[in-house]
Amino acid sequence: MTEPISPFKGKTGLARILNAVGYSWAGLRAAFQHEDAFRQEVLLLLPLLPLAIYLGDSGIERALMIGSLLGVLIVELLNSAVEAAVDRVSLERHPLIKRAKDMGSAAVMIALLNVVVVWALLLLD
């Protein structure tokens, strides 16, 4: 028995890369259009990104500060993807759906806490 092959898996080389970039931009646009939390976190990132470049004393410090900020967006995108997939399957109240959404929310909270910890350790050193 063979597994069904996705029609989206046939591209290779430059066509695959261009498709991936297009899908990524579509995902970012969708997150910005439909997710309030993502927009808020982007608005948080906008002033903090140049601040990280200014306040970081070395490339490593800047990378840690910027990486922690981007980590929040990455986790928020994954959380939003989980929520969208779960909502597509069912809108009923179910303990497993609540658990999945709560865990995604917890991941975002930990990513935000990570920003605070990284920035505090670097700036108070």
Structure-derived torsion over alpha carbons of residues 25, 110, 36, 39, reported in degrees to the nearest 10:
-50
3, 41, 76, 83: the catalytic one is: 76
- Asked whether 29 and 42 are in contact (CB, 8 A), the reply is no
- Asked whether 44 and 80 are in contact (CB, 8 A), the reply is no
Contacts of 114 (CB under 8 A, 6+ apart): 68, 71, 72
Q: Which amino acid is at 91?
A: L
Placement of tokens 């928020």 in the chain? 76
Axis-axis angle for helices 13-34, 59-89 (nearest 10): 80
Known active-site residue 92: no
Q: Which residues are catalytic?
A: 76
